[in-house]
Structure 1
C-alpha cells in the first residue's frame, strides 16, 4: 500500500486538537512526561538557534554579495525596502486594532505550566553563542567570503548549512508537533487554552486581509512606474499566487512566477534575473506574519513594547530572513533568534510563533512570490531602456 504523507501543518493541527482533548483527562504522570520532554526540547532549541543563524545566514549573505552590478544592488535595495515596509504596515495595523481585539492575560510561561506537574528531570544545554554574537558572526563571515571570494571557507559554510538543514528536517520539525501538543496540553490544564485559541483566530483573519492589501499596495506602487492598471497586472499573477498556496515553496513556484511576470510585459532577461533573486531576498509576506503574530502575543501577555523596539526588530529581521527560502519553516526558524534577543520571547512564545506561522505558511509564501512580480516591473522600467539603447553609428570624419 502507498504510504500516506501527512504534512507538517496537518500534524500541528492534530497536535493542537489532541492537546485540548487530552488536557483534562490524562493522569498527572503522563502530563509530567510531556513536561519533561518540553523542557529538554526547549533547551535544545535554545542551543540550536545560534547555530541556525550562523549556518543559514552566512552562505545567504555570501551568495548575495557575490554578484555584481547596479541591477543587483537596486533589486536588493527594493526587495529589502518592500520587506521593511511590510513590517511597519503590519505593526501599524496591529498596534491600531489588536489592543481592542485582544484581552491581556497571564504570560505564556505561567499558562504553559500544568497544575503541580513538574518534569522528572531537566537537562541544561547552554547555547554555544549569544544570539546577537551569532548574528554579527554570520554577517561578518558572509560579507568576508563574498569580498575575498574565499572558495574553501564558502564550501565549509555550505556544508555547515546542510548540517543545519538536516537537523531542522530530521529532528526539529518531526518533534515540533509533540512539543506543541505538550504546550496545549498544559494550557488546557490551566483553563487558558480557549483564550489563546481566540487570539489565534483573530490574528489569522487580520493577517489574511493585510496580505491582500499589501499586494494591492505593491502593484499600485509598480503602476506608478509603468503607468498601467495595477489590478490587471495583479490578476495575471494569480497562477503564481495559487501555485504557491499549493506548494508552500517560493523556489518551486519560480517557473510559474517567471512566466506570469513575462506576461505582464517584463523582458525575459530581467525577469530571469529578478524572479529567482527575489525568491531569496524578498519576504514581505513572511515579515507581515511574524510581526503581527509577535505583536499579538506580546499584547496578549501584557508585555511592554515600543515602536522603537519593533523598528529595530523589523530592520534586523528583514536581513536575517534572507536565509529562509528552501528551508521548511525557514523564515520563522531564522527569526527565532531575533525574537529572543530583541523582543524577549521565551520557549513558549517561540513555540506558539512557530505554530501560528506554519498555520499561515502558504499565504505568506503566496504573498512573497506574487510581490516578486511587482518588483520585476519596477526593475524592468528602470533598466530596460538602458539595455536597449542603440549603438551609435560611426560617422567618418570629413577630410
Structure 2
C-alpha cells in the first residue's frame, strides 16, 4: 500500500489562515473566543519551551563547532556569520525603502483604529519559564564553549555532552510532536482575533507584496553569493546555481536545512568541492548560516513595524541582527525553527510591550514569516554551498603553497 502524503506545514498554515478568517467572519463570538483561548494556551506553552530550546540547540551547536577544524572552522564561521549580518542589513534597507509604498495612510489608519478590538479569551494559564531567554543564551554559550574546549583537551569526559545531546533530542521531539503541529492552531487563533477586530483584510492586502519582495531579495542575494564564489574559484556562477537546483527545491519541500544536507552534499560534489571540505562545511553551515532566514525575518519585522506604526531604524535593527545571527546557531531543523528562536528577541525591534512573545504583534510576525519559511530555508542551504566553494578554493590555495598541515589543523 502506498503511504499517504502528509500535508506540508505551509499548506496547513494557509488552511489555518483561511479558517481563522472564516471563523472570525461568520461564526458566533463564543466560538471565536474558544479558538482564541486555545491559541492563548498554546502561546503560553511556547513561551515556556523557547528558553529550553535555546539552551538545548545552541549548547550543542557550539559544542560541536570547534572540534578538530582549526583555521578552516574560523574562516567558515566568519563567512557564515558575516553573510547573515549582511543579508539582514540589506533586507532592512530594501524593506524600509519599498514597504512604505505598499502601505497607504488610509490602510495604516484602519489598522490603528482596530488596535483595541481584540477577542478576550475565556481563561488563561500561567506557566512561568524555568529561565528567561537571555539567561538561556548565556548559559548555552558557557556550556557549549567549555564542553568543546575541555572535551578536546581531555579535561572532562563525555557525560555532560551526552546528557545535553539527549536533552536536545527531547526538545527536538517536543517541537516535532507538539509545537510545530499545533502552530496552525496558534495562527488560526491570531487570524480569528484579527478578523473580528477588522484588521485582516487590510493586512492581507499588504502581505502579498511583502512576500514577493522577500523572494526577489533571496534570489538576488544568492546570485551575489555564487558570483563571489565563482570569481574566487574561477567557475561559472550560473553553472554553480544550476548545480544547486536540487538542493534548493528539496529545501522548499522539507523546510529543513538538516533534512536537505544529503542532497546539498551531492550539489557540493557537482561544484567540485572535495569530499573532506564538503563533509565539513555543509553540515556546519546548515546550523550557522541563516542568510535567507535573516532576510525574511528582518523584512517581516520591518513590515510589521510599518503596519503598526512602531518606530524602526538601522540603529535598532543592527543589534537585533547581530544577536539573532548568534542565537540562531543550530536552530531546529524543524520548520519554523528560526522564527521560534527569534521570537524572544523581537522586543529589540518592537519594544518590550509590543515585543511580548505572547502578544498579537509577535503572532502576526510568526504568521508572516512561516508563510515564507520554505524559501528562506532554500536560500540558507544554497548559500551554504557558495561558502563551500569559497572554502574549498582557500583550502586548495593552502595546498598549493605547501600549507596542507596548516589548513588541516
Could you state the TM-score of these two structures normalised by the residue count of structure 1? 0.90
Q: Which residue in the other structure is 1:110 paired with?
A: 115
Distance 1:374 1:109, change over 3 A: farther
Which range moved further: 204-213 or 50-59? Answer: 50-59
Q: Which residue does the alignment assign to 2:258?
A: 251
Q: Does residue 96 in structure 1 map to residue 108 in structure 2?
A: no
**What is the Cα deviation at residue 382 of structure 1?**
1.1
The 10-residue stretch of structure 1 (244-253 or 214-223) with the greater mean CA deviation from structure 2 = 244-253
Q: Which residue of 2 aligns with 1:141?
A: 143
Indicate the residue corresponding to 1:212 in structure 2: 219
Are positions 1:371 and 2:371 aligned together?
no
Q: Conserved in 2, the CA contact under 8 Å of 1:50 and 1:134?
A: yes
Partner of 2:14: 13
Query: 1:394: which partner in 2?
Result: none
Which of 282, 296, 313 lines up with 2:289 in the alignment? 282
* Distance of aligned partners of 1:51 and 1:251 in 2 relative to their CA distance in 1, 3 Å threshold: closer
In structure 2, what is the Cα distance between the partners aligned to 1:266 and 1:178? 43
Distance 2:207 2:125 in 1: 31
Whether contact under 8 Å (1:242, 1:366) holds in the other structure is yes
Aligned to 2:406: none
Q: Is the 8 A contact 1:250 1:369 kept in 2?
A: yes
Aligned partners of 1:109 and 1:354: how far apart in 2? Answer: 20
Which structure has the larger Rg?
Answer: 1
The match for 2:128 among 115, 126, 129 is: 126
Q: Whole-Å Cα distance in 2 between the matches of residues 88 and 158 of structure 1?
A: 33
Number of residues paired by the alignment? 388
Indicate the residue corresponding to 2:165 in structure 1: 158
Quick one: structure 1 residues 19 and 222, their matched pair in 2 at CA, closer, same or farther if it must change by over 3 Å?
same
* Structure 1 unpaired stretches of 5+: 392-399
Q: Name the SS of the counterpart of 1:302 in structure 2.
A: coil
Structure 2, unpaired ranges of 5+: 404-409
Aligned partners of 1:226 and 1:378 also within 8 Å: yes
Pair 1:26-2:33 in alignment: no
* Aligned pairs for 1:157-176 within 5 A: 157-176=164-183
Cα 1:390–1:179 change in 2 (3 A) is closer
1:74-93 aligned within 5 A = 74-93=75-94
Deviation at 1:108, TM superposition (A): 11
Q: Supply the distance in 2 between the matched residues of 1:226 and 1:101 (Cα, whole angstroms).
A: 40
1:246, 1:362 within 8 Å by CA — same for their partners in 2? yes
CA spacing shift, 1:173–1:264, aligned 2, 3 Å: closer
Q: Give the structure 2 partner of residue 358 of structure 1.
A: 370
Report if the CA contact (8 A) 1:102-1:296 is conserved.
no
Query: What residue in structure 2 maps to residue 397 of structure 1?
Result: none
In the alignment, what sits opposite 1:383?
395
CA contact (8 A) 1:225 1:381 kept: yes
Distance (Å, rounded) in 1 between the aligned partners of 2:254 and 2:180: 18
Q: Which moved more, 1:98-107 or 1:119-128?
A: 98-107
TM-score between the two structures when normalised by the length of structure 2: 0.88
Instruction: Note if contact 1:43-1:125 (Cα within 8 Å) is conserved in structure 2.
Output: yes
Q: Is the 8 Å Cα contact of residues 66 and 73 (structure 2) preserved in structure 1?
A: no
Superimposed CA distance per residue, residues 127-179 of structure 1 (whole angstroms, 9 cap, x where no aligned partner) = 22222222112111211211222422212222221222222222222222112
| C-alpha contact (below 8 Å) 1:111/1:186 kept by paired residues | no
Task: State the alpha-carbon separation in 1 of the partners of residues 113 and 258 from structure 2.
Answer: 35
RMSD: 2.3
Give the Cα–Cα distance (whole angstroms) in 2 for the partners of residues 325 and 24 of structure 1: 35
Structure 1 counterpart SS, 2:125: coil
Deviation (angstroms), 1:124: 2.0
Shift of 1:384: 1.0
Distance 1:19 1:332 in 2: 21
